[in-house]
């Protein structure tokens, strides 16, 4: 696992967060601190609320109670300037990549630039090519449409779009799902390189045991609406939480870590 700086400042502070839909409570008084430079791997059973937690933190799902601070800004009252500031400093890559099918790769990558920056078309073209290169794609991918890309390429384009601005925090929702093990390993390596070169704080929802081992600096496990374990692999392996135990000591966990 990647080591992180224990004394770094808190980048994301979640306190007493309650989120629900109808009469179902999905997040039940969740507390979580993520420090600058950490790569967090959020794990939990299907439907345990991983994506809901990610979406709540970025303000896409309304909360019922609690508070969320990102880079020192309280999401309850960010103000127009604060909202813009967060848009510039945080990037999100969703599970399905969510590329716009009618736009080329270049145009997809340029969307956040158009929203947040005032740049000439020429400069945006140069930046888009640079971002493509950063995620390991060839220049001729720029004029392709999403339907012409493989799953792995589409994920890289989605990452390039998330990185379109100079980010401090990157949110990834199951970035390696749907990739074969080699593609997933390549993607993990890319996330590690970006972490080292850009000093990104990364919050990643994942089911991928290799990603947890190779990329994350800390694992956070969620079950029954609460954080039930947090720490390195060693902490997970000795956790007494039933779900964490089953996950790390079950057949897949044994194959990966045993
Ligand atoms: N917009 C919504 N409206 C109603 N219920 C929702 C909504 N979004 C999520 N849920 C419910 O919240 C629960 C948690 O969903 P979430 O997507 O966070 O699960 P997850 O842990 O990410 O699962 P998976 O690993 O399968 O992606 C699920 O029961 C889901 O049906």
What residues contact 88, with CB distance under 8 A and at least 6 apart?
116, 165, 166
Residue nearest atom 29 in ligand 1 by C-alpha distance: 47
What residues contact 50, with CB distance under 8 A and at least 6 apart?
42, 43, 44, 173, 205, 222
Map out the domains of the chain as residue ranges.
10-257
Distance CA 122, CA 239 (A): 53
Instruction: ipTM value, please give it.
Output: 0.97
Pocket of ligand 1 contains residue 50 by CB under 6 Å: yes
Distance CA 209, CA 237 (A): 13
Distance CA 227, CA 69 (A): 18
CB 191 within 8 A of CB 2: no
What residues contact 53, with CB distance under 8 A and at least 6 apart?
14, 17, 19, 27, 30, 32, 42, 205, 222
pLDDT in 10s for each residue of the chain, 258 residues: 656 566 789 999 999 999 999 999 999 999 999 999 999 999 999 899 999 999 999 888 999 999 999 998 888 877 777 888 888 888 888 766 678 999 999 999 998 888 888 888 998 899 899 889 988 899 999 999 999 988 888 888 988 888 878 789 999 988 888 778 888 888 888 888 888 888 889 999 988 888 888 889 999 999 999 999 999 989 999 999 999 999 988 777 777 666
Pocket of ligand 1 contains residue 146 by CB under 6 Å: no
Cα separations (Å) of 84 from 26, 36, 166? 28, 20, 13
CA of 25 to the centre of ligand 1 (A): 11
Q: Which fold has domain 10-257?
A: Rossmann fold (3.40.50)
Closest CA to 54 of 177, 148, 175: 175
What residues contact 255, with CB distance under 8 A and at least 6 apart?
none
């Amino acid at each position: 696992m990647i080591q992180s700086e224990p004394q770094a400042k808190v980048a994301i502070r979640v306190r007493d967060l309650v989120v629900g839909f109808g009469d179902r409570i999905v997040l039940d008084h969740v507390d979580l601190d993520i420090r600058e430079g950490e790569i967090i791997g959020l794990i939990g059973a299907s439907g345990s609320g991983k994506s809901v937690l990610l979406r709540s933190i970025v303000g896409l799902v309304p909360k019922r109670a609690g508070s969320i601070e990102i880079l020192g800004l309280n999401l309850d009252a960010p103000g127009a300037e604060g909202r813009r500031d967060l848009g510039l400093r945080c990037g999100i890559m969703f599970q399905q990549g969510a590329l716009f099918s009618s736009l080329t790769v270049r145009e997809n990558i340029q969307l956040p630039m158009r929203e947040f920056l005032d740049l000439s078309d020429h400069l945006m073209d140069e930046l888009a090519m640079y971002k493509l290169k950063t995620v390991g794609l060839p220049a001729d991918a720029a004029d392709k449409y999403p339907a012409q890309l493989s799953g792995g390429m589409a994920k890289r384009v989605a990452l390039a779009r998330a990185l379109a601005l100079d980010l401090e925090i990157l949110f990834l929702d199951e970035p390696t799902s749907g990739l074969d093990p080699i593609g997933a390993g390549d993607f993990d390596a890319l996330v590690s390189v970006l972490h080292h070169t850009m000093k990104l704080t990364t919050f990643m929802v994942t089911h991928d045991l290799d990603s947890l081992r190779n990329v994350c600096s800390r694992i956070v496990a969620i079950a029954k609406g609460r954080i039930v374990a947090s720490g390195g692999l060693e902490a997970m392996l000795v956790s007494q939480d039933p779900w964490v135990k089953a996950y790390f000591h079950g057949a897949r966990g044994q194959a990966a870590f045993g």
